[in-house]
């Protein structure tokens, strides 16, 4: 049995990796951070800021992994394109003997 926080983390990780919903999740996260309605209100000395820090950490971690994956895919595409461009085609007129 998984802990509820791990379930939320896995859900967030999957949804932010999906290109269609990524920006909606980012906008929702930012809206949660600036909203006065939180899981733990910000007027509580330590606990109020703890949930905001956890959400920001989660968002930055997942966005950095998405950015790394994007850069890796772009680099691989560039290498594949260069490899395809460097392959020379030699036309040969063959004569049967």
pLDDT, tens only, 44-53: 778 778 888 8
Domain assignment present for residue 29? The answer is yes
Within a domain: 94: no
Residue 25 lies in a domain: yes
Q: Is 93 part of a structural domain of the chain?
A: no
Is 91 inside a domain boundary? Answer: no
In a domain, 31, yes or no: yes
* Buried b or exposed e, range 57-85, using 16+ CB within 10 angstroms: ebbeebeeeeeeeeeeeeeeeeeeeeeee
Please list the pLDDT of the chain residue by residue as tens digits (97 residues): 577 878 888 888 888 888 888 888 888 888 888 887 777 776 777 877 888 888 888 888 888 888 888 888 888 777 667 666 666 566 778 888 7
Cβ atoms of 48 and 42 within 8 Å: the answer is yes
Residue 47 lies in a domain: yes
76 vs 92: CA distance, rounded Å? 32
Tally of domains within the chain: 1
Domain range for 27 is 4-86
Q: What is the pLDDT of residue 36?
A: 78
> How many CA atoms, within 13 angstroms, populate the side-chain half-sphere of residue 62?
22
The confidence score (pLDDT) of residue 86 equals 65
pLDDT score of 82: 63
- C-beta of residue 58 within 8 angstroms of C-beta of residue 9: yes
In a domain, 23, yes or no: yes
Query: How high is the pLDDT of residue 89?
Result: 61
């Amino acid at each position: 049995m998984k802990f509820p926080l791990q379930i939320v983390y896995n859900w967030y990780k999957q949804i932010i990796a999906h290109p269609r919903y990524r920006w909606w999740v980012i906008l929702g996260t930012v809206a949660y951070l600036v909203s006065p309605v939180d899981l733990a209100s910000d007027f509580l000395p330590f606990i109020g800021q703890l949930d905001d820090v956890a959400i920001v950490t989660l968002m930055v971690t997942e966005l950095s992994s998405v950015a790394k994956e994007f850069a890796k895919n772009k680099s691989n595409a560039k290498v594949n394109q260069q490899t395809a461009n460097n392959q020379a085609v030699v036309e040969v007129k063959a004569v049967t003997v």
